[in-house]
Amino acid sequence: MAIPKEFFSPQSVAVIGASRHPGKIGHEILWNFARGFYKGRIFPINPNSEKILGLRCYRSVLNVREKIDLAIIAVKAETVPSVLTECMGKKIPAVIVISGGFSELGPAGKLRENELQKIVAGTNTRLIGPNCVGVFDAKTNVDTLFLSKSRLLRPHAGNISFISQSGAVGTTILDWLAESGIGISKFISYGNQADIDETDLLEFLASDNETKVIAAYIEGLKSGRKFMQIAKKVSGKKQVIFLKAGKTKKGSQAASSHTGSLAGSAEIYSGAFKQTGILEAGNWEELFDFAKAFASQPLPASNRLAVITDGGGFGVLAADEAERQNFELPEPSKKLKLKFKGFPSYASLKNPIDLTGDADAERYKIAVESCLKSDEFDAVLVILLFQVPTLEKSIDETILALSRKYNKTIVACAAGSHYTQQLVRKLEAGGIPVYPTPERAVGALRAMLKYKNFKV
């Protein structure tokens, strides 16, 4: 059965286990809805309170006369089955079980989790969790994360959706994404996957108009056969990037005690990803290095790369990594070099094209535009050392204007402190992904090329 849209755009929400006490999970979740930007109806469920945050409380969802689209359960594990049964009686289509104390604890917890599966089996209700933090939708402001906004930032709206088996990993990355200015469409922490699993979420996001790129952190798959079938279809529509944890013996043991997952062989998972067109990230930095490139740039037609820099050493590092990643760095033709008229004699017009430490925005404009217009290159890596005194702040708008004008892949590299980060934010807001090292920039380009070649 398909995942209901009510998980992300409910008209009404019940918070079961709503609490009067700040710091409690049920209080923080209710606060997100009551004091955030959510526009629908909110029903706190707490038999021991009349009002919380100015909202009338109910003893049970069964006491709410209005229709409830989404129920969020944050009560003790032993109480969850009876509460979930009441949700079935209310015919609530979407339920998120935040509570832990299930299969991650071993056989006794697994029996309790099996009970949840039996309760929803054959009904029109779908369940996310248990043992999760739930969902965050940057457009509808549905936010079940029980971590205070004063401690965990939420990203602005974007076109990357992120699914995570681990709530801790997922929310930490969300905080980092928000600080880095990278937007999110949907975030889903699905925990022990008693009902909805990563394959269901992939299939749902493949048809989601707000999602262009799907990034995922997983510890283990619920059904390998089902995953292979769906993943190949989805990766043909959208870019999918997975970070697989639990690759070692100790990591696999940790995954089992964390979300009850059977992590399995790293080689088997890597092989499955390759067969289905999923890009595998080596760490969480790569996960979003790749995602933000896919989210904003067209795929390169081939591996012919132009590197343009105002710092020779950075150009050397980029050239080393480009060769390691099997990119070609062809030297510009004589015809193309004629476009660089007025450049100083000490500028290197090979590839990397070194504009040197007295480069200005005009010199960059000529070099970048010439390479974008030329049929000699399919992608451009622009290295910007903003610290050089001759480089005006207008360089950002110069590069952004060229990106809008030409339908070719552009990524940038810039490293530095406050001044640099201000300019980096402007570039990324305009759709040019920026990386702090040449190696990471080239790695993102390589991921784009791998996906392009898979589709072909």
Q: What is the pLDDT of residue 247?
A: 63
Q: Do 451 and 319 share a structural domain?
A: yes
Q: What is the dihedral of CA 162, 411, 233, 117, to 10 degrees?
A: -10
Kindly state the average pLDDT of the residues 163-168: 94
Long-range contacts of 280-283 (CB under 8 A, 24+ apart): 280/241, 280/242, 280/243, 280/244, 281/241, 281/242, 281/243, 282/243, 283/243
**Please, what is the angle between helix 107-120 and helix 80-90, to 10°?**
10
Q: What is the pLDDT of residue 249?
A: 52
Count up the domains in the chain and report the number.
Answer: 3
Q: Do 331 and 273 share a structural domain?
A: no
pLDDT tens-digit map of 180-202: 889 999 999 999 999 999 999 99
Burial of 283 (0-12, 13-18, 19+ CB in 10 A): exposed
Residue type, 242: F
Q: Do 172 and 69 share a structural domain?
A: no
Q: Do 451 and 309 share a structural domain?
A: yes
Q: Is residue 163 part of a domain?
A: yes
Q: Do 288 and 317 share a structural domain?
A: no
Q: How many CB atoms lie within 10 A of CB 429?
A: 13
Q: State whether residue 218 is helix, strand or coil.
A: strand
Q: Is residue 63 part of a domain?
A: yes
| Strand extents, DSSP E, 245-284 | 279-281
In terms of residue numbers, what domain contains 205? 152-296
Q: Do 253 and 304 share a structural domain?
A: no
Q: Is residue 147 part of a domain?
A: no
pLDDT tens-digit map of 399-452: 999 999 999 999 999 999 999 999 999 999 999 999 999 999 999 999 999 999
Q: What is the pLDDT of residue 43?
A: 98
167 vs 424: CA distance, rounded Å: 29
pLDDT confidence tier of residue 222, bands split at 50, 70 and 90: confident
Average pLDDT of the chain to the nearest whole number: 93
Q: Which of 239, 268, 296 is the last residue of a domain?
A: 296
**Please, what is the angle between helix 284-296 and helix 167-180, to 10°?**
50
Kindly state the average pLDDT of the residues 240-267: 63
pLDDT confidence tier of residue 251, bands split at 50, 70 and 90: very low
| Strand pairing category for 51-52 and 55-56 | antiparallel
Q: Do 439 and 305 share a structural domain?
A: yes
Q: Is residue 138 part of a domain?
A: no
Kindly state the average pLDDT of the residues 394-399: 97
Q: Above 50 in pLDDT, residue 134? A: yes
Q: Do 27 and 79 share a structural domain?
A: yes
Nearest Cα neighbor of 320 from 352, 350, 349 is 352
Q: Is residue 10 part of a domain?
A: yes
Q: Do 328 and 260 share a structural domain?
A: no
Helices (H) and strands (E) in the chain, counts: 15, 18
Quote the radius of gyration of the chain (alpha carbons, Å): 25
Q: Do 369 and 449 share a structural domain?
A: yes
Q: Which of 278, 296, 314 is the last residue of a domain?
A: 296
Q: Which of 257, 276, 296 is the last residue of a domain?
A: 296
pLDDT tens-digit map of 375-385: 999 999 999 99
Q: Is residue 137 part of a domain?
A: no
13 vs 456: CA distance, rounded Å: 44
Contact 130, 100 (CB under 8 A): yes
Q: Do 321 and 259 share a structural domain?
A: no
DSSP lists the bridge partners of residue 215 as 162, 241
Q: Do 291 and 440 share a structural domain?
A: no
CATH of the domain at 310: 3.40.50.261
∠ CA 131-173-297, rounded to 5°: 125
Q: Above 50 in pLDDT, residue 394? A: yes
Q: Is residue 166 part of a domain?
A: yes
Distances (CA, A) of 14 to 61, 141, 161, 285: 7, 15, 24, 36
Q: What is the pLDDT of residue 371?
A: 97
Q: What is the pLDDT of residue 29?
A: 97
Share of residues in the chain with pLDDT > 70 (%): 96
386 vs 352: CA distance, rounded Å: 18
pLDDT tens-digit map of 303-349: 999 999 999 999 999 999 999 999 999 999 999 999 998 899 999 99
pLDDT tens-digit map of 30-51: 999 999 899 999 999 999 999 9
